[in-house]
Structure 1
Amino acid sequence: MLIFFLLKFCFNFGVFCYAARFSVCKLTDPKLDDCLATNIENTLHSLKNGISDLGVRSLDPFKVPKLTIDAGNGPLNLAQHYTEVSLGGLSDVKVQKAHYDLEKKALHIESMFPKIVQLAHYIVSGRILSLPVYGNGNASLILETCKIVLDLQLEEVTRNGQKFFNMKSIVADITPKKMITHFDNLFNGNKLLGDNMNSVIKEEWAALYFDVKPSVDKNYAEVFKHYAQELFNKIPANQIFSQ
């Protein structure tokens, strides 16, 4: 989920040759935060299909090779490994708040997504209410009315005489109002056990999600950091910010 925020951030402050496609916020603007929030939202919408000549992939769906969610410590203890992940709904966003601290080089973004849909191949193992759970196959996960808060810490580095941004750290806080999941082929295809367990997971979604939320936040943030840094590596710092 973070790469799209960073794409937005870069393009809206960008003064490179493609800046005409996007509104630009000036760092000296007293209403910088309002401008930033508006431009982040507008650019996320415009990045839905990507920008081929910049090598920017489609934002909706957004592809992730793999994700791992570690098991928590609660009664719904489930380790989740996902591959061939497709995230939908990331371009349909309302940015509620944004702030960039120039001195600290810190970016804060708060956004709301009506629905984020994750489709992937999964492998799960663990226990739910003392019952062993295992399986692999296709899985769907829907986060409804999902709030995402991001805090990015940047630093400037010099390469070949030019300054670029390096991402020192990213912190994500991902909180849905509801989660709907379905795992195909649980218990090696035992339909009765699989249907019953899917019902339990749907009913107890909050206990499961918030038990593994620290791992969700951490692992999604790391994945997005990797892709975002690839973008920062292409664009000099003086082509990102407009004074």
Structure 2
Amino acid sequence: MFLSVSIAFFCFASGVLTNSLITPCKVNDLVCVDKSIKGAIPKILVGIPELGVESSDPIFVDQIDGNLSIIKYKFFNTTITGFKNCEISNFKLNEDITAIKYDLNCPKISLIGKYEVSGRLIVLPVEGSGDFQLITGKYSIHVDSELKKGTGSDGKTHISIKNFKLKSKALSPIKFDFKNLFNGQKDLSDAVHKFANENWFEVSELVQEPTWNACIKKVTTNVNKYLKNVALEDIVLQ
């Protein structure tokens, strides 16, 4: 995901852009831009340790807080995998490089960790704590980010992600597996799992926002670490 911001920034500013991770492209050469993005994905996803950029697959998040109206949940020590298989589309960057929009299309995302939950899952009461696993099917995530420019310690102009807004949508079934619901009462646990797995779209619409926000926030930190080392003057050729 942090690829989307860096690549869009490199490839859609005016002029011919160059960077060691991508093939230089003219801004109006869409075939080149598409090829450059796809070629850079595997290189960036592994992370750049010397710049403090962690791997984007897997992502590790210490805690995710879902403080929603009818249900409260927390995920602890969550490992998220699958972003390396996501495809980025529909880039839109404004001319002064202060905002970007794009779609992230993921075939499968897996989350594994520990949880605490209490409240109502739409119509059913739910409570418990223990290990959990979520495996999504196809997912679409629209990201709308505001960018900002500033002067770095090198005296040059640098860009960073100021904030973001998400619109996420599950496009195929999700598998929910939460151990020890209702302190191990199998009949109650089975009923909740059956409801969640049969009504995956409604359940995802209810609970997804805190989880995706936490993931993107984690990735954004890495993006900004990367962009901090890339001066605008060094990558935009007029």
TM-score after normalising by structure 2: 0.81
**CA separation in 2, counterparts of 1:20 and 1:222?**
26
Deviation, structure 1 residue 91? 0.8
Query: Could you list the runs of 5+ residues in structure 1 that have no partner in the other structure?
Result: none
Residue 213 of structure 1 and its aligned partner are, at CA, apart by 4.4
State the one-letter code of the partner of 1:199: K
Aligned partner letter, 1:167? I
Counting matched residue pairs gives: 232
Greater alpha carbon shift after TM alignment, 3-12 vs 177-186:
3-12
* Aligned counterpart, 2:159: 165
Partner of 1:198: 193
- Find the aligned partners of 1:56 and 1:6 in 2 and give their Cα distance: 14
Does the 8 A contact of 2:51 with 2:229 survive in 1? no
Find the partner of 1:226 among 216, 221, 225: 221
| CA drift at 1:68 | 1.9
> Percent identity among equivalent residues?
23
TM-score by length of 1: 0.80
Give the deviation of 1:9 after TM superposition: 4.6
2:94 aligned partner: 101
1:1-243 aligned at under 5 Å gives the runs 2-6=1-5, 8-9=7-8, 15=18, 19-26=19-26, 29-31=27-29, 35-72=32-69, 77-128=70-121, 130-160=123-153, 161-178=155-172, 179-243=174-238
Cα distance, 1:11 vs. partner? 7.2
Change (3 A) 1:48 1:204: same
Cα deviations by residue, 1:121-174 (Å, 9 ceiling, x for unpaired): 111111135543111111111221111221221111113322222322212222
The verdict on how the C-alpha distance between 1:166 and 1:51 changes in structure 2, with shifts beyond 3 A counting, is: closer
Q: 1:234 to 1:136 in 2, by over 3 A?
A: farther
Contact 1:24 1:242 in 2 (8 A): no
CA RMSD of aligned residues (A): 2.8
Contact 1:12 1:23 (C-alpha < 8 Å) held by counterparts: no
